[in-house]
Amino acid sequence: MTARGHLRVLLGAAPGVGKTCTMLAEGSRLLDEGCDVVIGVVEAHGRAATARMTRGIPSVPLRRVRHRGVELTELDLEGVLSRTPQVVLVDELAHTLARADGTAASAPGPADGPLVGTGGGARASTGADTSTGVGADQGLTKRWQQVDVLLTAGIDVITTLNIQHIESLHDVVQRITGILQRERVPDTVVRAADQIEVVDLAPQALQGRLRDGLVYPAERIDAALAHFFRLGNLTALRELALLWIADEVDQALTRYRDENGIESTWEARERVVVALTGGAEGETLLRRGARIAARSAGGELLVVHVSAQDGLRAADPRALARQRALTEDLGGDFTQIVGDDVPSALVEFARSVNATQLVLGASRRGRWTAALTGPGIGASVVRDAGDIDVHMVPHAAAAASPLLPPLGGALTMRRRLLGAAIALLGGPALTAGLSAGASPESLTSDVLAYQLLVVVVALAGGLWPALFAAVLSGLSLDFFFIAPLRTISIADPLHLLALALYVVIAVLVSVVVDRAARRARAARRAAAESELIQDVAGSVLRGDDAVQALTSRARDAFRLDSVELVEADGTILARAGASAGAIADASDGARAQRVTRIAVSTDAELVLSGRDLAGSERRLLQVLALELATALEHGRLRETAQEIAPLAASDRTRGAILSALGHDLRRPLAAATAAVGGLRAAGPSLSPSGTAALLETADESLGALSALVEDLLDVNRLQAGALSLARRPVDPAEAIAPALEELGLGPQAVSLALGHEDAAVLADAVPLQRVVVNLLANARRHSPEGMSVRVATSTFDGRGEIRVIDHGPGVAPERMDEIFQPFQRLGDTDNTTGLGLGLALSRGLVEAMGGELTPEATPGGGLTMVVSLPLAVPPRPLEGGA
pLDDT: which is higher, 369 or 446: 446
Task: Give the separation between CA 230 and CA 3, rounded to whole angstroms.
Answer: 44
- Determine the pLDDT at residue 439: 75
Q: What is the mean pLDDT of residues 335-352?
A: 81
Q: What is the mean pLDDT of residues 311-340?
A: 75
Query: Is the four-CA dihedral 503, 504, 507, 513 of positive or negative sign?
Result: negative
pLDDT: which is higher, 114 or 304: 304
Is 876 part of any domain? no
Per-residue pLDDT at 11 exceeds 70: yes
Task: Give the separation between CA 28 and CA 34, rounded to whole angstroms.
Answer: 10
Using pLDDT thresholds of 50, 70 and 90, give the confidence band for residue 324: confident
- Determine the pLDDT at residue 123: 40
Is 620 part of any domain? no
Per-residue pLDDT at 26 exceeds 90: yes
How long, in residues, is the chain?
Answer: 882
CA distances from 276 to 190, 312, 378, 514 (A): 37, 16, 12, 28
- Is residue 416 within 8 Å of 517, Cβ to Cβ? no
**Chain mean pLDDT for the chain:** 75
Looking at 719, 750, 781, the residue that finishes a domain is 719
Is 263 part of any domain? no
Q: What is the mean pLDDT of residues 20-34?
A: 93
- Determine the pLDDT at residue 41: 92
- Determine the pLDDT at residue 99: 63
pLDDT: which is higher, 75 or 540: 75
Using pLDDT thresholds of 50, 70 and 90, give the confidence band for residue 587: very low
Is 351 part of any domain? yes
- Determine the pLDDT at residue 544: 53
Q: What is the mean pLDDT of residues 611-626?
A: 69
Same domain, yes or no, for 119 and 26? yes
Per-residue pLDDT at 512 exceeds 90: no
DSSP 219: G
Amino acid at 282: G
- Is residue 810 within 8 Å of 863, Cβ to Cβ? yes
pLDDT: which is higher, 421 or 535: 421
- Determine the pLDDT at residue 446: 81
Mean pLDDT comparison of 114-128, 216-230, 531-545, highest-scoring range: 216-230
Per-residue pLDDT at 178 exceeds 70: yes
Note down the domain range covering 595.
546-613
- Is residue 359 within 8 Å of 393, Cβ to Cβ? yes
Q: What is the mean pLDDT of residues 671-686?
A: 79
Question: If you write DSSP's letter for every residue of 726-793 in order, what string do you get?
Answer: --EEE-HHHHHHHHHHHHT--TTTEEEEE--TT--EEE-HHHHHHHHHHHHHHHHHHSPTT--EEEEE
Same domain, yes or no, for 702 and 748? no
Q: Produce one character per residue of 48-77: b if its CB has 16 or more CB atoms within 10 Å, e if not.
A: eebeebbeebebbebbbbebeeeebbbbbb
pLDDT: which is higher, 209 or 529: 209
Looking at 589, 613, 637, the residue that finishes a domain is 613
Task: Give the separation between CA 307 and CA 314, rounded to whole angstroms.
Answer: 7
Using pLDDT thresholds of 50, 70 and 90, give the confidence band for residue 408: very low
Task: Give the separation between CA 628 and CA 626, rounded to whole angstroms.
Answer: 5
Same domain, yes or no, for 75 and 109? yes
- Determine the pLDDT at residue 798: 84
Looking at 340, 364, 393, the residue that finishes a domain is 393
- Is residue 545 within 8 Å of 568, Cβ to Cβ? no
CA 552 to chain centre: 30
CATH of the domain at 737: 3.30.565.10
- Determine the pLDDT at residue 874: 60
Same domain, yes or no, for 389 and 420? no
Whether residue 440 is preceded by a cis peptide bond, meaning omega within 30 degrees of 0, is: no
Whole-number percent of the chain with pLDDT over 70? 71
CATH of the domain at 711: 1.10.287.130
- Is residue 555 within 8 Å of 563, Cβ to Cβ? yes
Is 217 part of any domain? yes
User: Which helix (H) or strand (E) is 855 found in, with range?
Assistant: strand 852-857
The total domain count for the chain is 6
Residue 726 CB neighbours (<10 A): 11
CATH of the domain at 350: 3.40.50.620
Per-residue pLDDT at 782 exceeds 70: yes
Query: Is the four-CA dihedral 636, 639, 644, 645 of positive or negative sign?
Result: positive
Burial of 294 (0-12, 13-18, 19+ CB in 10 A): middle
Q: What is the mean pLDDT of residues 822-845?
A: 55
Amino acid at 650: S
CA distances from 114 to 179, 513, 865 (A): 8, 66, 21
Q: What is the mean pLDDT of residues 546-564?
A: 76
Task: Give the separation between CA 13 and CA 234, rounded to whole angstroms.
Answer: 7
Same domain, yes or no, for 707 and 824? no
Same domain, yes or no, for 373 and 425? no
Q: What is the mean pLDDT of residues 663-684?
A: 75
| Segment among 94-108, 205-219, 446-460 with least mean pLDDT | 94-108
Q: What is the mean pLDDT of residues 45-72?
A: 82
Q: Produce one character per residue of 424-433: b if its CB has 16 or more CB atoms within 10 Å, e if not.
A: eebbeebbee
Q: Three-class SS of residue 494?
A: helix
Is 534 part of any domain? no
- Is residue 246 within 8 Å of 240, Cβ to Cβ? no
Same domain, yes or no, for 430 and 568? no
Task: Give the separation between CA 643 and CA 350, rounded to whole angstroms.
Answer: 50
- Note the pLDDT tens digit of each residue in 79-94: 999 999 999 999 999 9
pLDDT: which is higher, 727 or 535: 727
Task: Give the separation between CA 709 and CA 705, rounded to whole angstroms.
Answer: 6
Is 697 part of any domain? yes
Task: Give the separation between CA 355 and CA 303, rounded to whole angstroms.
Answer: 11
Per-residue pLDDT at 877 exceeds 50: no
Task: Give the separation between CA 641 and CA 646, rounded to whole angstroms.
Answer: 9
Q: Is the pTM of this model over 0.95?
A: no
Using pLDDT thresholds of 50, 70 and 90, give the confidence band for residue 20: very high
Same domain, yes or no, for 223 and 163? yes
Question: If you write DSSP's letter for every residue of 374-434 in order, what string do you get?
Answer: -S-HHHHHHHH-TTSEEEEE--TTTT-B-PPPPP--SS-HHHHHHHHHHHHHHHHHHHHHH
Taking only Cα atoms into account, the Rg of the chain, rounded to an integer number of angstroms, comes to 41
Using pLDDT thresholds of 50, 70 and 90, give the confidence band for residue 43: confident
- Determine the pLDDT at residue 814: 79
Is 526 part of any domain? no
- Determine the pLDDT at residue 125: 37
Residue 588 CB neighbours (<10 A): 8
Per-residue pLDDT at 150 exceeds 90: yes
CA 328 to chain centre: 13
Per-residue pLDDT at 129 exceeds 60: no
Residues 338, 344, 346, CA angle at the centre, nearest 5°? 65
Same domain, yes or no, for 43 and 117? yes
Same domain, yes or no, for 669 and 793? no
- Is residue 389 within 8 Å of 419, Cβ to Cβ? no
- For 91-239, strand residue ranges (E) read 156-162, 195-199
Per-residue pLDDT at 632 exceeds 50: yes
- Determine the pLDDT at residue 93: 92
Task: Give the separation between CA 166 and CA 810, rounded to whole angstroms.
Answer: 39
CA distances from 297 to 84, 356, 391 (A): 47, 14, 20
Same domain, yes or no, for 175 and 119? yes
Same domain, yes or no, for 138 and 17? yes
CATH of the domain at 177: 3.40.50.300
Which residues sit opposite 96 in a β-bridge? Answer: 142
